[in-house]
Amino acid sequence: MRRRPLPRRATLCAVATTVLIGLTTAGLSTPAAAVPDEFRPQLVTVDTPTRADKALLQTLGLDLTEHAGHDYVEVVLHTPADLAALLGAGLGFDVRIPDLLAREAENNRINAAYAAATTTSPLPSGRDAYRTLADYNADMAALESDRPDLVKRFALPHRSLDGREIFGVEIGKDVHGPDRGLPVFVMLGVHHAREWPSGENAMEFAVDLVRNYGTDRRITDLVDRSRVVVVPVVNVDGFELSRTDGELVDIREVDGGGTATILGNPGNAYKRKNCRLVDGQDTPDGTCRAGSLTSPGGFGTGTDLNRNYGGYWGGPGASDLFADPTYRGAAPFSEPETQNIRELVSGRHVTTLITNHTFSNLVLRPNGAAPDLVPPSEGIPLGDPFDEAALKALGDEMAAQNGYTSQHAWELYDTTGSTEDWSYNATGGFGYTFEIGPDEFHPPFPEVIDEYLGAGEFAGKGNREAYLVALENAVDPTTHSVLSGKAPAGATLRLKKTFPSPTWEGSIQDTLDTTMTVGPDGRYTWHVNPSTRPVVKDRQVETLSGDPVQEESWTGTTLPLQSTDREFTVARDADLLEVVLDWPTPDDMDLEVYRKNADGSLVQVGSSGNFVGEKERVLLQAPEQGTYVLRAINFASVTPTWTLTASLFEAETSTVPGLVEAWTLTCERDGRVVERVPVVVDRGQQLRVDLKACGRR
């Protein structure tokens, strides 16, 4: 997805205009000392045409959003120091929202006008404004009160760091009765505090199912065949601060001249993380607000919950520095919020999961890290997920309903420790991230309505239809596994498995432990996830297939601080283009690769700028046919003779053999295990297991 032209706002203050736009158009050559002392948080679009640029950006400790494409990432700058870090890295950027506080005030004014003019919105709930945390809790309680046969509100096992209970709702026919082995669909919202629409979309879906059950044939059928679990606000502490502070921003007319001023401190309106104030230590309940005052916008304190899950925890895209926005936490699942979701998923057969975020209009699927990366814990490339074809097909189908882009999560940028990477690789249940909305963390509320119900060519579809497609996938037995057979009426069946989940450099122990109750007729049908986890199944890995199909080399000499260009023409389809720059001394040279357009202009498609003594290499996948400009740059070499080699390769796909795992199925009567059976079952397989010994006295 290429970056679209971005509108400039007339509200750009004079200082920001002089400093930021001037720096952008001047190639960012102005020293960091020119950054103004008075600085309001702003949203900028950083140019990252290569994977190396994205990697560099992730080392700067800046507040990266989930809005990105193959050549850009959007970033929130909170302080002059943030701007100085970006300038010092030499990455180009455009200012998109020059004053997030003014934008917050503008949104509040739009929201107030909409609420004043609206009695009931088109949403299932009819709401006309963003919920507070108290609103969410009240709405979940009301759903249970209105339909106690259909809705069960529950508290997750761990309170937040600030001492709050975290609630969810379970929706299903006879929801308070025994678990009969139906497939489970999980919907999550607000891992990141400032992403208010993620909770709204999740909550509206819950209301939608309940309100339309019994009158809408499709919804009634889906709810009867499943259990739907919705946790609209995972990060309750962070959301409470963001939502409360975001409401404080106000625009008033003063001095009789119509000058707009901002009254009230927005504080944590753009907070991202949870309320971890001291790394690895709990703090007294109720101290989150005071602790967050030490960090501009509250973004420096806390753990990024979407980097704290166990799957490949601690790898690329997750910082080990507490003050960084993507801080991964002291250990996998170190936070009570992620422990809650871990236990929720580990105790049910979640066949499909959606975790909602903002913003970028994306449907992201595993994996979070690029397939050629090699976790030290495994020693082989990650490759694509075992179920890539099916994951892509469902992602594409959901994106066709809301107009989003369906892609791998790593195509946004490398990420480890995310929700669906752990849930998919640990359980086999399909998992996705929805990045809701095109351009803001919490836009005017009417945009939330459009995202849920669809607008324009997607009117009547939107995220509502995408979620229903996901729920249909959750109940489809061809997308998971089914066990059936005979067992004593009322017996408890248990499926359990304990295994090591790989982190980036080691592993943690995970346990999946689920139960169901056999019905009065002595028969059972249990919708379960496959016994073998995706992370240990056969893995497809791409490797170069021998000699290059086209190759050209050059030697040359380049003076210090100068560059030399050579051209290479890709005249055939191929899988990989490798460009290597070598030189005989341990000095420093850099490499840039450009594609030449028909008009002679150049578009950078790759670069390599390693540390002193490391040679430079650029690798391009499926390069377009045409002419490429290879630029050798003498950054700091006193003996500037070099060799430049461009090679075009076909790639071979090889398979790393995997393992076969088994569930342990037990039949329990009166709290005692009567029968134990190992069960191996694949995705799409229906297996009959009669538990005869369990019925004997």
Residues 194-211: tens digit of each pLDDT: 999 999 999 999 999 999
Q: Any idea which residue has 């390693």 for tokens? A: 610
Tell me whether residue 142 is in a domain: yes
Give the structural domain span for 467.
106-242+299-478
Please compute the mean of the pLDDT values over residues 462-469 and round it to a whole number: 98
Please report the DSSP string for 223-272 in residue order. Answer: HHT-EEEEES-S-HHHHHHHHHHHTT-EEEEETTTTEEEEES--TTTT--
The sheet with strand 72-77 has its strands ordered as 63-69, 72-77, 42-47, 93-97
1: which 2 tokens? 């997805």
Tell me whether residue 672 is in a domain: no
The pLDDT of residue 4: 29
Tell me the pTM. Answer: 0.78
Are 209 and 344 contained in the same domain?
Answer: yes
Are 306 and 417 contained in the same domain?
Answer: yes
155: which 2 tokens? 């508290």
620-657 in b/e form (b: 16+ CB < 10 A) is: beebeeebbbbbbbbeebeebebebbbbbbeeeeeeee
Are 204 and 125 contained in the same domain?
Answer: yes
643: which 2 tokens? 């060799």
Mean pLDDT (the chain, rounded): 86
pLDDT tier at 18 (50, 70, 90 boundaries)?
Answer: very low
Between CA 417 and CA 306 the distance in angstroms is 6
Tally Cβ neighbours within 10 Å of residue 81: 15
Are 89 and 119 contained in the same domain?
Answer: no
Tell me whether residue 595 is in a domain: yes
Are 464 and 367 contained in the same domain?
Answer: yes
Query: Which of the residue ranges 49-58, 370-379, 438-447 would you say has the lowest mean pLDDT?
Result: 49-58
Tell me whether residue 695 is in a domain: no
Domain boundary among 71, 98, 125: 98
Are 166 and 46 contained in the same domain?
Answer: no
How many domains does one find in the chain? Answer: 3
Between CA 507 and CA 685 the distance in angstroms is 29
Are 87 and 184 contained in the same domain?
Answer: no
Task: Kindly report the three-state secondary structure assignment for every residue of 635-687.
Answer: EECCCCEEEEEEEEECEEEEEECCCCCCEEEEEEECCEEEEEEEECCCCCCEE
Tell me whether residue 680 is in a domain: no
Residue 591 near residue 579, CB atoms below 8 Å: yes
> Degrees (nearest 5) of the Cα angle 521, 522, 527?
100
pLDDT tier at 293 (50, 70, 90 boundaries)?
Answer: confident
Let me know if 435 is a catalytic residue.
Answer: yes
Are 83 and 145 contained in the same domain?
Answer: no
- CATH number, domain of 64, equals 3.30.70
Backbone phi and psi for residue 346, each to the nearest 5 degrees, phi listed first: -70, -20
Are 88 and 65 contained in the same domain?
Answer: yes
Are 45 and 142 contained in the same domain?
Answer: no
- Tell me: cis bond preceding 367? Omega within 30 of 0 counts: yes
Q: Is the dihedral of CA 231, 366, 414, 318 positive or negative?
A: positive
Between CA 250 and CA 263 the distance in angstroms is 5
pLDDT at 241 over 80: yes
pLDDT at 494 over 80: yes
Query: Which of the residue ranges 335-349, 410-424, 523-537, 669-683 would you say has the lowest mean pLDDT?
Result: 410-424
pLDDT at 479 over 80: yes
Between CA 40 and CA 297 the distance in angstroms is 10
Tell me whether residue 173 is in a domain: yes
Domain boundary among 478, 498, 525: 478
462 conformational bin, left if phi > 0, alpha if psi -120 to 50, beta if neither: left
Query: Which of 74, 170, 335, 435 is flagged as catalytic?
Result: 435
Domain boundary among 34, 65, 98: 98
Longest dimension (CA), the chain: 90
Are 86 and 119 contained in the same domain?
Answer: no
